[in-house]
Amino acid sequence: MERQAGGRAAGGHLQAMKNIGENLFIVILAFYPLRHVQWGLDLMDTGYNYANYTYMGTEHMDPMWLFSTWLSNAAGHLLTKLPGGGTLVGMNIYTALFVSLLAVLCYLFCTKKLNIRPWTAFLGEMAAVSLCWCPTALLYNYMTYVLFTGCFILLYYGLTKDRKGYLIAAGVCLGANVLVRFSNLPEAAMILAVWFYDFLWDREEKQENRRKSENSQKPEGFWRKLFRHTGWCLLGYLAALFVLLGMIHIRYGLGEYAAGITRLFAMTDTATDYRAVDMVRNMLRDYTENFYWLIRMGAFLAAGTALALFAGLLKIKGRAAGMVKRIVQAACIALAALMAGWLYYRDSEGLRVPFCTLDFCDYASMRRPGILFLMLTIFIAAIRVFHPKSRKEDRLLGSMLILVIFLTSIGSNNRTYPSINNLFIAAPYTLQACFAFLSRYRDKKISRVTIPVFPVKCILSAFLIICCIQFTGFGIKFAFAEATGVRDISAGVDNNEILKNVKMSEEKAQWMSSVTAFVKENGLQGQEVILYGTPLTLAIPSLSYYLQMPAAFNPWINLPSYSYEVMEADLHELGEETPVVLLENASALYAEGGRQALAEAGMNESAAEAVAEDKKLRLILNFMEQHGYVQTFRNEKFSIYQCETD
């Protein structure tokens, strides 16, 4: 009795320790996404989105982007009303919580439903969060991931438990996602997973019935089940669209919405990378280009496998066999280490680009390992889908993961980057499969030939170690700013409430301090502004948010998706209004002295040509000339112009 009581006490203690560990994992996953909320000043994407949230509406936003990302803009607008929502750090915290939600939700799903071990799920979620290169300010991305993941989980529960409530809710998630970002429409292809599972269920039921007597109850037919499941999903999808479009109709009118979405389809004339064909082609190009590395890694694997096969053919027995085995294993480990070293090796005259670098402030540190990790996930999922002994639940899971990886990148012009940013279920799934293979899989004998597995384990282990180093380093060091990583956070700005407690470079701090002082001294806060950066290179839409100056019509005029014709019409609609004009200095130099001024400033010929030939810039300069604008402020980066009569 005492021994049993002691065993129960020990078991209870172990369970308590396990619960503490799992709760600690959840706490870490909740707070890890907040690690960089004070890092860096981004003049482009971050402040642009926060400006749209702050000044949401057709008055200060491009209607095309307002309506194509309406639900994310509405959510961001609500965040600006919360305590601290009027500061950059406060908004970074609120938007980062969407990543926290993703990490915790997927950790619980992986551990509770998919039976992935807690520490494996934790490592996977940490890797997924570390690979979130996109600034959290872009809620149209992170709300997409949240709702897409919600759909994934609800579909899995709904199909495996045959619950209509889950299927309706999954449809609601996808329907709402169309209003988060209109280009999420292709996510409706998740219905393929529903049809695939129903097909598997029907085949399994028929096989089961053959084993039973003819008097057994006849199961529900395939087509009836398929239409029932599809109908529940469609009901939720249409219900979400009906409710959200109704809200838009009440606030703006469906005519305004239709006009904005119509322009979205037309923008591919100027923003060609948003064409459906180009988006798919660019995504697939990443995978095909990565075969360069996969083939060379395969060469190391082939060498190790050939060595192991040769040793097996020698038919050595006794102590010598053990020695030969250890020699072969040591050689395979050496080959894996050599492969890892080769992948890090950079030769400017040989390889065009490295597989990865140790500069963790750059995308190159994680990009190619990330794409190869996606390929590994697709490979593992495909094996589960097509393996004849796989359970239908495992096949469903594999098919859904493949769909998520491909669909996440469709609708974006960022190639495979969005899929790398959305590995919250894929990363734990892949790690679990890899760890299971490394710990359990043994050599397989086929027709008297033993196929060695140890070389595969060595190469896979080397790749996973590389991923661990690269993903961890990237997660710790990388913070987004102007589409690159932040490298200097040694200074701050004291006179700008929006930028309070933000760490940035000394140079940016000087730019922002001086322009903020001028704006405050001259009472320009709250006045409308036209912002224009260097054509084709650096835009400055974030200044609308940082300086608390709403855009006259669109804060990011540089975007190719914002056409010249629309800009011309927007300027014409201003009539006699004369908003403040704020130019990045390359544009300002051209305004003052043409190409000669750009050449004297040291700008290279191609960049100077881009400035001189920029039609949008000429529109702004013509507008300024017509209304008698004069320069009232200039620092090392920005120039401000105001109408003389103001």
CB 262 within 8 Å of CB 183: no
Q: What does the alpha-carbon distance between residue 317 and residue 321 come to, in Å, rounded to a whole number? A: 5
Rg of the chain, C-alpha, whole Å: 29
pLDDT, residue 191, reads: 96
Q: How many CB atoms lie within 10 A of CB 419?
A: 27
Nearest C-alpha neighbor of 373 from the set 441, 294, 439, 299: 294
Q: What does the alpha-carbon distance between residue 365 and residue 370 come to, in Å, rounded to a whole number? A: 9
**HEC secondary structure over 444-496:** EEECCEEECCHHHHHHHHHHHHHHHHHHHHHHHHCCEECCEECCCCCECCCCC
Q: What does the alpha-carbon distance between residue 546 and residue 93 come to, in Å, rounded to a whole number? A: 17
Cα→Cα distances 578→239, 547, 589, 643, 644, Å: 44, 18, 21, 6, 10
What pTM value is reported for the model?
Answer: 0.92
In degrees and rounded to multiples of 5, residue 115 shows phi and psi of: 60, 35
pLDDT at 61 over 50: yes
CB 39 within 8 Å of CB 486: yes
pLDDT, residue 480, reads: 94
Among 143-157, 194-208, 382-396, name the one with the lowest average pLDDT: 194-208
Q: What does the alpha-carbon distance between residue 29 and residue 129 come to, in Å, rounded to a whole number? A: 8
> Which contacts qualify for 32-35: CB closer than 8 Å, 24 or more apart?
32/100, 32/103, 32/126, 32/129, 33/96, 33/97, 33/99, 33/100, 33/103, 33/129, 33/132, 33/136, 34/93, 34/96, 34/97, 34/100, 35/476
Mean pLDDT confidence for 558-584: 91
Question: Strand 444-446 and strand 449-451: pairing?
Answer: antiparallel
Residue 314 exposed, middle or buried by CB count within 10 Å (0-12, 13-18, 19+): exposed
In degrees and rounded to multiples of 5, residue 463 shows phi and psi of: -65, -45
Q: What does the alpha-carbon distance between residue 85 and residue 91 come to, in Å, rounded to a whole number? A: 5
pLDDT at 542 over 80: yes
What six digits make up the tokens of 123? 């490592």
pLDDT at 5 over 70: no
What six digits make up the tokens of 396? 């469903």
252 Cα distance to chain centroid = 30
pLDDT, residue 145, reads: 97
| More confident: 346 or 590 | 590
pLDDT tens digits along 270-290: 666 677 788 888 899 999 999
What six digits make up the tokens of 107? 């950790």
Q: How many CB atoms lie within 10 A of CB 615?
A: 10
pLDDT, residue 215, reads: 53
pLDDT, residue 348, reads: 47
Q: What does the alpha-carbon distance between residue 23 and residue 35 come to, in Å, rounded to a whole number? A: 19
pLDDT tens digits along 435-488: 999 988 777 766 666 678 899 999 999 999 999 999 999 999 999 998 889 999
pLDDT, residue 206, reads: 78
What six digits make up the tokens of 328? 């072969």
pLDDT at 645 over 80: no
In degrees and rounded to multiples of 5, residue 275 shows phi and psi of: -65, 140
pLDDT tens digits along 285-326: 999 999 989 999 999 999 999 988 887 767 777 677 778 888
pLDDT, residue 444, reads: 73
pLDDT at 213 over 70: no
Q: HSE of 382 in the Cβ direction (CA atoms, 13 Å)?
A: 7
Is 634 in a helix, a strand, or coil?
Answer: strand
Contact partners, residue 107, CB within 8 Å, separation at least 6: 25, 26, 29, 121, 122, 125, 428
Residue 180 is classified by DSSP as: H
Q: How big is the chain, counted in residues?
A: 646
Nearest C-alpha neighbor of 525 from the set 644, 645, 640: 640
What is the rounded (10 degree) CA torsion for 580, 584, 586, 589?
Answer: 30
